[in-house]
Chains A and B, each alone.
Chain A
Amino acid sequence: MILLFFGIALILSLLIFIFPKRIIIASASILYVLAHLLLTVYSYENLDLWDTAYFKFDSLAVLLNGLLSLLLIPVTYHAKLYLQRHVNNPKKESFFAGVMILLSTAISSVYFAENIVVMWVSIEITTLAVSFLIYHTRYDTPLEASWKYLFLSSFGIAIAFLGILILASQATSAEGADLSISYLSSAAAQMDPFFLKMAFVLILTGYSVKLNVFPLFAATIDAKTVAPSPVNAIISTALVNAGFVAIFRVYSIINQTALNSWAQHIFLLTGLISLALATIQLFRIKRFKRMFAFSSMEHVSLILIALSVGKLGYYAALLHLAFHTLIKGGLFFQFGQIRAYFHSGWIKDSGSYFKLNGIAALAFIVGILSITAIPPSGMFVSEFLIFKALFARGAFITAITVLTMLTVIIYVILKKTMHLLYAELPANFNPDKVIANKFEPISQFLLFGLVTYLGFNPPAVLTNLIHATINLLN
């Protein structure tokens, strides 16, 4: 099935590239979203079954692929609006749409890959796709961001490959290296602890570029600063999740050994450093997209800190990941409207948004309340569970440190939000150039509402998938 899906995705993207016509772009994009949804349903129906020798429909993959399917629906709509407003050239539009399909397919491939090298190859494809998507406007700042992202990601991926090779060396049998996650997990207990540690650190360092955490976060932040909103809605959510999957798979291997508490310490260290860096950097930001990028860094840090708690924190970490995906996607859709309204992404160029575009401003407020985990946001529940786990484990100093940094982050984000909503109109604002669509905020209200609902009434399908994912670690 998965190969069929890859085939369909490839044909659709080729169709778009070869015939750059709007009707073909729209039809192929819709067909792709349907195919993606079908893949999610099929994988859920065939949970825990293998699909070819390299892919498996496990609970984590199904959960994250489902979230991506859900996001792709509004992404298709907002991408159409973005292209109409800012590109308006069928050839460039076709390139954008075709690469978006390839990016989403590569991300799904990362989720479902059961082989650590197939996962690596898929991650490398996402790097190439993101670089082209950032640069598709051909201006100088996107070029700078593309170059940095491409180079630093390739560097990170090369480092991760070193880790994979070291892991492979420890799992070599008479028939050669078996690099499936299940085999590596079963062989983990026999691996040399020194090499296992080395592999884990190298893979975490390498994939930190996708996960948007310390040490290789800089290029990702720059990429998000210039990427178009629909692309950001994918790379700040589904692609971050792909990085999480890659790290989670390696953690599931190391978790079979006595080194699991050591790995949790590494998660804690990475999480705390990343959170501290995000807190400091947020004071310096002058653009909304950069604010959201550092906010993503903050949430991934929290997820790593939750993982560091062990069994008590796994549920909270996965719930937080799911909620972050939906809320951050919605916020980027909303930012697309702010950009179209003020014709700028700089905070200083915005103001009086509440007065000018009330419904969209309301969507922005709800989004900000959701992302800062202020009740009734669903994220309040997941963050509450993270702190509950930290206190239950007796990590009081960590919990208080994290709480302090979160308070600072909330203050900075709310301050910037207030500027957008209530500050005086900037001198360069031109009402004649305003682009607004009253239907655009609908997707954001739906996504933020969904997170609130899921936070307080999580359906069995969500909790079962999360619990099944936790079982993958045991």
Chain B
Amino acid sequence: MIIVLIILFAATLVYFFLSERVAKFVWLLSIQGVLLFGIALLNLIHTQIFGLILILLETLIVKAIIIPGFLHRLQHQNRLKRVHESQIPVFYSLLIITAILIICFLISYNIDNQVIQLRYFTVALATVIGGMYFIIIHKNIFSHLVGFLIIENGTFLLSLAVGSEMPFMVSLAVLLDVLIAVLVIGIFMNKVQDTFDDISVSKLNKLKD
């Protein structure tokens, strides 16, 4: 079952590069949150109850509901519908993300380590690299925020891959920290829209000497 969820997660990653509609990005992030919830639930069912509740809270409530809800609001406030300005055509991006997945698969299966669970590691690594690539090819700061959240999801998957259980308080601090960071980034994005009448990074160039 876990492997099915991981494959679905990888499929959402590919789908990010097929889509140009902002609403789809928000939906895909929400779906990734639900998939992470399923993966975490199946993986950590035997761990401490507090740790489990926290992780489920992080995935289902924060990643699948709060953050996509917040992004949806941002999308409406900024009247964003479609992201046109991807610097690389969709077809090439699709090829590149497929290549990233294959390379991560090859790297992971050449790793000889007892601790790391390779089935998570492959997709986690591909998600992080894919998130970076997503940021690079988009000029729009909303897409940058989406790319950042893809990296965050990859990081979460990696935390499952390495199988380390952090102390409850530490996990809580990490969760709050990430949530606040995303909310603050969103608030600043609104300010950028209000000030520059646009959220393209090409407008943010006044600081260069």
Contact = CB atoms under 8 A, between A and B. Distances in A.
Contact of B170 (A117, A159, A165): A117
A195 interface: yes
Interface stretch (B11-19, B67-75, B76-84, B185-193): B185-193
Contacts of A287: 209
A176 B155 contact: no
Given A125-B177, A131-B188, A169-B162, A141 B170 contact: no
B85 interface: no
Contacts of B111: 194
Contact of A154 (B141, B181, B191): B181
Interface residues of B, number: 42
B163 interface: yes
A216 to B, nearest CB: 12
Interface residues of A, number: 48
Q: Which label, helix, strand, loop or mixed, suits the secondary structure of the A interface?
A: helix
A135 B163 CA distance: 40
A95 interface: no
B1 interface: no
A166 interface: yes
B87 interface: no
Given A120-B174, A151-B185, A155-B151, A143 B195 contact: yes
B152 A179 contact: no
B158 interface: yes
A189 interface: no
Contacts of A140: 195-196, 206
A121 interface: yes
Contact of B174 (A117, A147, A159, A284): A117
Scoring B115, B128, B135, B196 by chain A CB atoms within 10 A of each residue's CB, the highest score goes to B115
Contacts of B24: none
A408 B177 CA distance: 42
B158 A115 contact: no
Interface string A129-166: 00100010000110111111011001100110110011
Interface string A167-189: 01111100011010000000000
A410 interface: no
A118 B206 CA distance: 36
Given A140-B196, A141-B206, A285-B209, A147 B158 contact: no
B88 interface: no
A117 B166 contact: yes
Interface in B158-208: 158-159, 161-167, 170, 173-174, 177-178, 180-181, 184-185, 188-189, 191-192, 195-196, 204-207
B164 A172 contact: yes
Nearest to A170: B115
A151 B195 contact: no
B209 to A, nearest CB: 4
B94 interface: no
Contacts of B151: 155, 158-159
A301 interface: no
Contact of B191 (A121, A124, A143, A151): A143
A88 B141 CA distance: 33
A194 B112 CA distance: 10
A115 B162 CA distance: 18
A290 B164 contact: no
A265 B158 CA distance: 28
B144 interface: yes
Nearest to B48: A176
B155 A162 contact: yes
A179 B155 contact: no
A105 interface: no
B209 A135 contact: no
B162 A144 contact: no
A168 B162 contact: yes
A361 B188 CA distance: 38
A165 B155 contact: yes
A128 B152 CA distance: 17
Given A165-B155, A165-B158, A143 B188 contact: yes
A129 to B, nearest CB: 10
A148 B204 contact: yes
Interface of B: 111, 113, 115-116, 128, 135, 141, 144-145, 148, 151-152, 155, 158-159, 161-167, 170, 173-174, 177-178, 180-181, 184-185, 188-189, 191-192, 195-196, 204-207, 209
Interface of A: 115, 117-118, 120-121, 124-125, 127-128, 131, 135, 140-141, 143-148, 150-151, 154-155, 158-159, 161-162, 165-166, 168-172, 176-177, 179, 192, 194-195, 222, 225-226, 284-287, 290
10 contacts: A117-B170, A128-B181, A143-B195, A148-B204, A151-B145, A158-B152, A159-B151, A165-B164, A170-B115, A192-B113
Given A172-B163, A176-B167, A195-B113, 6 more contacts: A125-B177, A147-B204, A150-B185, A151-B148, A154-B185, A165-B155
Which 9 residue pairs spanning A and B have beta carbons closest together?
Answer: A169-B162, A177-B164, A176-B165, A168-B164, A286-B209, A121-B173, A144-B204, A124-B177, A222-B207
